[in-house]
Amino acid sequence: MKRVFLETYGCQMNVADSELMAGVLERAGLSLVDRPEDADAVLLNTCAIREHAEQRVLGRLGEFARLKARRPELVVGVTGCMAQHLRSRLLDHARVLDLVVGPDGYRDLPALLARAAREPVAEVRPDRDETYGDLEPRREPGVRAWVTVQRGCDRFCTYCVVPFTRGRERSRPLADLLREVRHAVEAGFREVVLLGQTVNSWHDDDHDFAGLLRAADAVEGLLRTRFTSPHPGDMSDRLIAALAECAKVCPHVHLPLQSASDPVLERMSRGYTLAQYHEVAAKLRAAIPGVALSTDIIVGFPGETADDFARTVAYLREARFDSAFLFKYSARPDTRAWRWPETVPEEEKGRRLAQLIELQHAISGELNDRWIGREVEVLVEGPARRDPGQLYGRTPQFKAVVFPNDGTPAGRLRRLRVAGATPVTLFGEAAEKNSAGAPLVHIG
Ligand code: 5AD
Ligand code: SF4
C-alpha cells in the first residue's frame, strides 16, 4: 500500500478533514495521487447532510467498482459522515467496499488501510475526545487555509444528521489552533477560515470565540480571518464587539436562518425566534459598517404551510442577504424529523425553492450593482476558473472579483475599481485607470 487517491464531497469541514487525512497518510510514508487509476487505494470522504449528497457518492462508488473489477487488489474506502451514518450497512450492501471510517477514526488511517487490503474493515466508533488537536494537516498550497476549531454539534436541530455523524461538540485547544494559524502563515497562506459546526460556541477554559478571534488577529503576516458557521443563538455582544474591533476579521457573517416562520423554527428546534434572529442581524449591521450577511434556508420542512413559506419570502425581501444557500428539505434517518410525515410534496418543494432562488438572485444582483464605481481591496487567489486570462480574488465581504491579469501574484492585496457586476461576480479594473471616470457610489 503506497499510493492513495482521496476525493472530497460536502462542506468545508470535509475539505479540512481530507487535509488532515492527507497529513496522517504522508507522515506514515504513503503518497497522494491525482488519479484513481494510479492508486493502490481510493478513499471517498463523504457527506450525509442531504440524500442527494449520498446518491452522488453511491454513483461514484459504481465507477470504482468497475476499476476494482479490473484490479481486484484495489482498496476502496468511504470515510466521513456517510461512513458514520451508514456504518456496517455500507459494507453489506456495496460489495466494492473494503473500508468504512467515521470522522473519529482518521488517526489510524494508515493501519486501517493496510488491514483493509486483507479483510473488510469498519471503524465507526465515536470518540468524544478526539479533536486531532495535535495533527498538522497537509494543506493544498493556496491563499486560504481552513482551520477546524471545533468538531461535532450538540444542537440537535430536528432535521440535521450532523450530531449523529460527527458526534458531540468538542473544541480544540487554543494553543494548538494558534500554532496551526502561525504555521499556515509561515507556509504562505494569507487568510484563515475558522471552521466549526457552531463555530461561535468554541471555548477553551475561559477563552471564548471572541478571544480566539482576538488572538488570531495578533498573528503577524495574517491578512484576513473568516469563520463559518456561527449559530445565531451564540452570537454574544462580546463576540459582535470582537468582530467589529478585530482589524483582520472580514466584514462577512454567514448566519444560517433556516426559516422565517416561528412555528417552523420551533419544530426545527433552532433555539431562536425570527425576532431574535433579526435582532442579531441588526446588531451586526450596526456594529460592522457595510457587513455582508449570508444565510442558509430550508424549504418544505414537515408542516411548512404556504403561510410559513410566505414569511420566509417576506423576510428574505426585508433582510436583503448578500447571498443565500437554499435547500429543499431532505429527510435524514436518525433525526427526529425523520419520523414526521412529509407534508410538502416534492413538486411544491421545488416550486418554493425556485421562488426563493429567483428572489435571492434579484437581491444579490441589486446589492452587487451598488458596488459598481467603488474601489475594493481584493486578496488575489490566482487565475479565474472560467478564463485563466483573468485573475480572481475576494473582497473582505467575500464578493468574488474577476479582473484583467496584470501579473499580481496570488496572496497579494490589490486595489480595484468595480466596473461591472452580476449577482455572483464583480468585475474589476485597475483603480488608477478611470479615476476621473464614474463617481464613487457610497454604500452605507
Ligand atoms: N435537508 C435540507 N437541508 C439541510 N441542511 C441541514 N440538514 C438538512 C436537511 N436534512 C442545510 C441547513 C444547514 C446547511 C449546512 O445544510 O440549511 O445550515
Ligand atoms: Fe446541524 Fe443544527 Fe448542529 Fe448546524 S446547529 S450542524 S444545523 S444540528
* pLDDT per residue as tens digits for the range 126-168: 999 999 988 999 998 999 999 999 999 999 999 999 999 999 9
> How many angstroms separate the CA atoms of 91 and 20, rounded?
24
- Give the pLDDT score at 405: 94
Distance from residue 268's CA to the centre of ligand 2 (Å): 10
Out of 369, 403, 419, pick the residue that ends a domain.
369
- Give the pLDDT score at 319: 98
Distance from residue 146's CA to the centre of ligand 1 (Å): 21
Residues 308 and 338 in one domain: yes
Q: What is the pLDDT of residues 357-393, one digit of tens each?
A: 999 999 999 999 999 999 999 999 999 988 889 999 9
> How many angstroms separate the CA atoms of 312 and 388, rounded?
39
Out of 213, 234, 250, pick the residue that ends a domain.
250
Residues 283 and 239 in one domain: no
Question: How many other β-carbons are positioned within 10 Å of the β-carbon of residue 346?
Answer: 10
- The conformation of residue 139, written as its DSSP 8-state character, comes to P
Distance from residue 324's CA to the centre of ligand 1 (Å): 12
Residues 202 and 271 in one domain: no
Nearest CA to ligand 2 atom 5: 155
- Give the pLDDT score at 384: 94
Evaluate whether residue 131 is within a structural domain: no
428 lines ligand 1 (CB under 6 A): no
Rg (CA), the chain: 23
- Give the pLDDT score at 195: 98
Residues 78 and 157 in one domain: no
- Give the pLDDT score at 133: 87
DSSP assignment string, 75-111? EEEEEEHHHHHHTHHHHHH-TT--EEE-TT-GGGHHH
- Give the pLDDT score at 88: 65
22 lines ligand 1 (CB under 6 A): no
Range of the domain at 312: 254-369
Distance from residue 183's CA to the centre of ligand 1 (Å): 33
Residues 89 and 152 in one domain: no
Proximal ligand: closest to the CA of 200: 2
Distance from residue 350's CA to the centre of ligand 2 (Å): 23
Residue 339 CB burial class (10 angstroms; 0-12, 13-18, ≥19): exposed
> How many angstroms separate the CA atoms of 248 and 250, rounded?
6
Evaluate whether residue 129 is within a structural domain: no
> How many angstroms separate the CA atoms of 205 and 44, rounded?
35
Residue ranges lining ligand 2, Cβ < 6 Å: 153, 155-157, 160, 162-163, 197-198, 231
Query: Listing from the earlier edge strand, what are the strands of the sheet with 252-254?
Result: 252-254, 292-299, 323-328
Residues 116 and 164 in one domain: no
Proximal ligand: closest to the CA of 256: 1
Residues 281 and 349 in one domain: yes
Distance from residue 301's CA to the centre of ligand 2 (Å): 15
Residues 209 and 169 in one domain: yes
AA identity, residue 27:
R
What are the grid coordinates assigned to 418, written together?
A: 468595480
- Residue identified by cell 497562506 is 189
pTM, 2 dp: 0.94
What are the grid coordinates assigned to 348, written together?
A: 411544491
DSSP-derived 3-state class of residue 240 = helix
Low-confidence ranges of the chain (pLDDT < 50): 434-444
Q: What is the CATH number of the domain that holds 65?
A: 3.40.50.12160
Out of 217, 250, 283, pick the residue that ends a domain.
250
Residues 280 and 206 in one domain: no
Proximal ligand: closest to the CA of 12: 1
**Count of domains observed in the chain:** 4
Residues 246 and 258 in one domain: no
